[in-house]
Structure 1
Amino acid sequence: MVDSMEQNNLVIKLRRDFRFWDVVFIGVGAMTGATIYLMAGQTISIAGTGILLAILFNYIITMLTGMTYAELSTIYPEAGGGYLFIEETLPKPFGFMSGWMSWFSHSIADAFYTVVFATGIVWLLQIYSVSIPISPDLFKKLIIVALLAIILLINYWGTSTTGKWQTYLTTAQISILVIFIVAGFIGIIYHPNFKNLLPLNLNITNIALAMGLLFVGFEGYEIIAQSSEEIENPEKNIPRAIFMSIAIVTIIYALLFLVMLINSGPNILGERGEFAVIWFGNQMIPYYGYGLMIMAMLIGSGATLNATVFSSIRVSFAMGRNGSLPKLFSHLHKKHNTPYIATLISGIIIGAMALFLPLDTIVAGASIMFLLLFTLVNIAVIVNRYQNPQLKRGYSIPLFPLVPILAIMTNLFVAAVLWYFSPEAWFVAIAWIEVGLLIYYFWAGKKEIEKPSRIVSPTKLKIEKKEYNILVPLSQEFPNSVKIATLIARRMDANLHLFSAIEVPINISPQSITYSDSLDKIKMMERMEKVAKKYGKTPEVTITVAHDTFRAIIDEVNENGINILFMTWRPKNVRRIIFGSTLEKVYKNPPCDMLIFRNHLEENINKISLILSKRKSGEFSFQIASYLAKELNCSLIIYEFTYDGNISIKGDQYLKLSREMGIEAEIIPMKSNGIMGKIFNISKESKLLIMAPPSEYMDGRLPPSTEPRIIGRLNGPVLIVRKVITEKEQDLSGMYHG
């Protein structure tokens, strides 16, 4: 298949979709979302004013391990995070166990975030006196099941919008928290109760215990490392994103706890328990504070769940792909390209823990598993430095090996202290580790770890550079689209680019796609290439593996200097209705001139219909119509809407140009009343209708956003010609006779 790809000039690209701020918001969203809302009161009751020291110390130990992640991510800018670092550096059992622990760490954290979200819904209904027909506990369990079903369905469908929504949700949540922090400082100005900060609790055990319970709110930067191979300029952006996200989260935590303590005091907050943050919100903004803070709680836990679920799925998918777990974990859905079995099994584990484990056990268990995982990662960076000093490091840990040694010691200390809070959490963690060891020594350890064949693009054939370039994105086989685009390219002496995207959901990496996953798309593009060659053009063929087809198309336009983007209209299904179609996104902000084709085309057509436009696409649409009429050797019927129903000077000029080019042409003038109805009737009667965007015939009275829907309602083969890039006026005869 590689040889045929070389002959057919096919190039396969793996896109890096995440920019710096995309990744920062993923990290911040994964950290700020849930912990403070349910655990603030409990940690204050344990550590008192020492909670501020707990936050400071958590920042320090998080930065210690964050530096380790920053260094290893620049050495191995691939998906996997801690699992990958340990697998590449430490002996086999540690590699498997790190993946096993990482999967469980993210899954139990997901269970916690699910419980937080369900708790927020119950509180919201109770505060505003909405009656719940069943017991609150049972209602909470039903919400957990419903929420997980929605999350799993989204991950089953697969969507490229996750990164954008992560940014929106995280921004909304932080904005609400900032409102309460500002309200808290205003309260301090009027009532400066600084005595509430005294005496400062310096009990090391209590501070360490509070650190352990809050630690799950500091581990989200792991997701940044898991996304390494999808981040632009990873050597620079990964360390910056890790440090930036940790700093933002710490500042928010510290300021929120500070204003809570000064305004309300540790005793009252400790007595409020899980409800402390929500209660404080209402103290700062009476009546509305409950709803606003619970809204932040729901947004935050939803964003965190959104960010963390894909991590647990990614890890289990990666372990299935390399043989550490059964192969069924690596199966991708044929239509959606999603790891549906890994999604289902991860969902079952998350749901079971959320439904049946106590909240304290879930929180402590998540912290313990992450602390143990981070301990192994710090050991790995020490071994890696001494075993592989020659490796290029985009970032190097300062004061090595002191920093990772301190990280190991502090991680183990905080994990050990959590025994005093929840022995059950340690029992759950130990049980999961023991099951992993049994699986490794009796099954996985006897198998050879497989490295799946990555997609490697062959050498690209050189094609002569042309002034004009036409790009044809294809989601499925559209031979008529390729035929029309090829005829236009041949007439314009333009390069023809055939393009298709393998869109993968956010829960798997583009680098995880292998040739076996992409064979159907490759074969489809080979067939479309043959169509282009049949009509006289050798195209450049590109397949891009990406999370977002829209962004992939825009980048392809920019990289190749595309002048005309030729897209195919497709009927909407449920998924495109919910998430929007790629065509609508491109049409809203077109990067260049566009052609949009819909419906099938008869093999031999003898007549093309053109509806003239007086606006900027009019000349371009005539140009395209004349090209196709010449290439297909058919006649051209020109429809013109005028006020009085007579042929205009411009219409007469187009008619003369057509005949000078040897095209059999006629013009039919029509009065400009009931234009859309007449356009629909013309589309029914035409073998191929070429027209400008519908809004150009309505004198700007039709919003451009409605045009894709109107295009979908037209009958018969239609080619919409949209001029975006305005060129200087030039002599028409030179354009068409050249």
Structure 2
Amino acid sequence: MASEKIGLTESISMAVGGMVGGGIFAVLGVVASAADTLAWLAFIVAGIIALAAGYSFIRLGDLSKDDDDGPLTYIERFTGSTKLAGMTGWTFVVGYIGTMAMYAFAFGGYFTELLGVRTVGGVPARPFISALVIVLFVGLNVLGAHASGRTEDVLVGLKVAILLVFGFGGIYYGFKHGKLRSGLAQFGVGPVIAAALSFVAFEGWELLLFDRDSIKNPAETIRKAIYISIVGVTGLYIIVAVVTTDLVSPQVIQQNAETALAVAARPFLGEAGFVLISIAALFSTGSAINATLFSSSRLLNKMVSEDYLPAQVGGNGDGEPVRALVILGTLTAAFTVLGSLDGISSFASLAFITIFGAASYLAFRNRSGDDVKTSVVPAVGTVGAIATIAALLWHLYTSENPVFWTVAGITVAVVAAEVLYFERKSIENGVSSMESELEDIV
């Protein structure tokens, strides 16, 4: 029913919640380690690319002129390739798995630091806690335990309020003690690399594109919600980055990458600040895992119905997508237990930069000759995505070589699986033809 559809306020809350949900708590330390006091600039660069991608998706939606369309339909319609649409869907799913693994990694880090327990029986506690929280939320989703829209609005409001208190409190403290610095004297490639690493913190607004049928006046509401949420979140990230990098030394940030935000609260809020931010991070990353599991499992089911995934992944009729949840949970748990924070965040960021860059390119290719905006904005998104992907890969290859090969190996495996799936009929026909020829020879 139309009365049950959500409006602009709820849509903004969904988009902001998707981005702030757990990304900034998890990825801030990685970004700050790469860009130091220019971390704020990295978030501006990533925010501009995300905004260009948002414009591009909206532009493709306007050209499509169908309220039931979504990102995958745009890809298929404007490229004429079902394979590319399916591979984009797979990339979305893989990106969500990486994102949830990052959230779980951060959850385990904050949990163990808060309790002061890093090992149990000589075994690191963080991987165990991270896997356990994944299992917990898979179970809750299987049982159908999801937060209501109103509850999500309250949680998003609390998370943003805590980050604003942290940000403005830290700026006041830093200004009072002469600790605030622009960092521009250290300008170099660091912000571009950090922008690529930070891109996963801008993942979340695109979920609105998959929920068009549950939003009032989707074309106009989604347009406003995406622009407002990305600009607002970018501003919030800038404030948080300035406080963290100005009040905490690079060495301390590197040693506490997964809990950098809480560590940065100590100078002006003391131990109570560390506890407050840590508790907020636990709620935030936990709710982000829950929400992403919910959305991505339904994306998997939709992809099955459109033959983008094997039928064995979906099913379960009108109930919860149990098989999809179990598959997502298993892959996420393996990733968060075996991976490093750098590797997980790099992989997730790479997935979403690729998707958003591709959307920008597609919008640029379908630009209007008499409207400069339809050319310039997608061009910025395309060039920005290419530059950040190149910077990220260069950084990983030169500074994090094991992470580079891990990310490369996973990427090759995923692409190979996608190609094999979408070319399966051609392969089957080729094998049958070869068998027939052999039989004729014999």
Structure-1-length-normalised TM-score: 0.53
Q: Is the 8 A contact 1:86 1:376 kept in 2?
A: no
1:169 to 140, 152, 155: 155
Question: What is the percent sequence identity of the aligned residues?
Answer: 23
Q: Which residue does the alignment assign to 2:436?
A: none
Q: Which residue does the alignment assign to 2:343?
A: 361
**CA displacement, residues 67-101 of structure 1 (integer Å, 9 cap, x when unaligned):** 1122334534336x432321232222211111111
Unpaired segments of 5 or more residues in structure 2?
A: 397-402, 430-442
Tell me the matched-pair count. 418
Distance 1:445 1:230, change over 3 A: farther
Distance 1:154 1:85, change over 3 A: farther
Q: Does 1:183 align with 2:169?
A: yes
Q: Which residue does the alignment assign to 2:327?
A: 345
SS across alignment from 2:121: coil
Deviation at 1:158, TM superposition (A): 2.4
Distance 1:444 1:246, change over 3 A: farther
Deviation at 1:210, TM superposition (A): 0.5
Deviation at 1:236, TM superposition (A): 1.4
Q: Is the 8 A contact 1:73 1:228 kept in 2?
A: no
Q: Which residue does the alignment assign to 1:414?
A: 388
Write the distance in 1 (CA, Å) between the matches of 2:147 and 2:231: 26
Asked which structure has the greater RCO (Cα within 8 Å, sep 6+), the reply is 2
Deviation at 1:270, TM superposition (A): 4.9
Matches within 5 A, 1:315-330: 315-330=299-314
SS across alignment from 1:221: coil
Deviation at 1:352, TM superposition (A): 1.9
Q: Which residue does the alignment assign to 1:82?
A: 71
Deviation at 1:16, TM superposition (A): 5.2
Q: Does 1:289 align with 2:273?
A: yes
Write the distance in 2 (CA, Å) between the matches of 1:169 and 1:156: 22
Write the distance in 1 (CA, Å) between the matches of 2:333 and 2:179: 43
Q: Which residue does the alignment assign to 1:623?
A: none
Write the distance in 2 (CA, Å) between the matches of 1:120 and 1:136: 17
Q: Is the 8 A contact 1:50 1:200 kept in 2?
A: no
Q: Is the 8 A contact 2:138 2:329 kept in 1?
A: yes
Q: Which residue does the alignment assign to 1:535?
A: none
Q: Which residue does the alignment assign to 2:14?
A: 26
SS across alignment from 2:320: coil
Q: Which residue does the alignment assign to 1:94?
A: 84
1:118 to 98, 108, 126: 108
Write the distance in 1 (CA, Å) between the matches of 2:68 and 2:159: 30
Deviation at 1:193, TM superposition (A): 2.5
Write the distance in 1 (CA, Å) between the matches of 2:208 and 2:372: 21
Matches within 5 A, 1:220-619: 220-264=204-248, 269-270=253-254, 272-333=256-317, 337-383=319-365, 399-419=373-393, 420-421=395-396, 422-423=403-404, 424-443=406-425
Distance 1:327 1:272, change over 3 A: closer
Greater per-residue helix proportion: 2
Deviation at 1:324, TM superposition (A): 2.2
Deviation at 1:211, TM superposition (A): 0.6
Write the distance in 1 (CA, Å) between the matches of 2:123 and 2:237: 29
Instruction: List structure 1 segments (4+ residues) > 6 angstroms apart after TM superposition.
Output: 444-447
Q: Is the 8 A contact 2:109 2:259 kept in 1?
A: no
Deviation at 1:15, TM superposition (A): 6.9
Q: Is the 8 A contact 1:46 1:210 kept in 2?
A: yes
Q: Which residue does the alignment assign to 1:655?
A: none
Report the AA paired with residue 404 of structure 1: P
Structure-2-length-normalised TM-score: 0.86
**CA displacement, residues 568-592 of structure 1 (integer Å, 9 cap, x when unaligned):** xxxxxxxxxxxxxxxxxxxxxxxxx
Deviation at 1:265, TM superposition (A): 5.5
Q: Which residue does the alignment assign to 2:121?
A: 134
Q: Is the 8 A contact 1:28 1:220 kept in 2?
A: yes
Root-mean-square deviation (CA), in Å? Answer: 2.7
**CA displacement, residues 645-671 of structure 1 (integer Å, 9 cap, x when unaligned):** xxxxxxxxxxxxxxxxxxxxxxxxxxx
Q: Which residue does the alignment assign to 1:54?
A: 42
Q: Is the 8 A contact 1:223 1:308 kept in 2?
A: no
Structure (1 or 2) with the larger CA radius of gyration: 1
Unpaired segments of 5 or more residues in structure 1?
A: 1-12, 390-395, 448-738
**CA displacement, residues 212-259 of structure 1 (integer Å, 9 cap, x when unaligned):** 111100121111111112111112110111011111211111111222
Q: Which residue does the alignment assign to 2:5?
A: 17
SS across alignment from 1:161: coil
Q: Is the 8 A contact 1:155 1:343 kept in 2?
A: yes
Q: Is the 8 A contact 2:43 2:195 kept in 1?
A: yes
Write the distance in 1 (CA, Å) between the matches of 2:323 and 2:255: 44
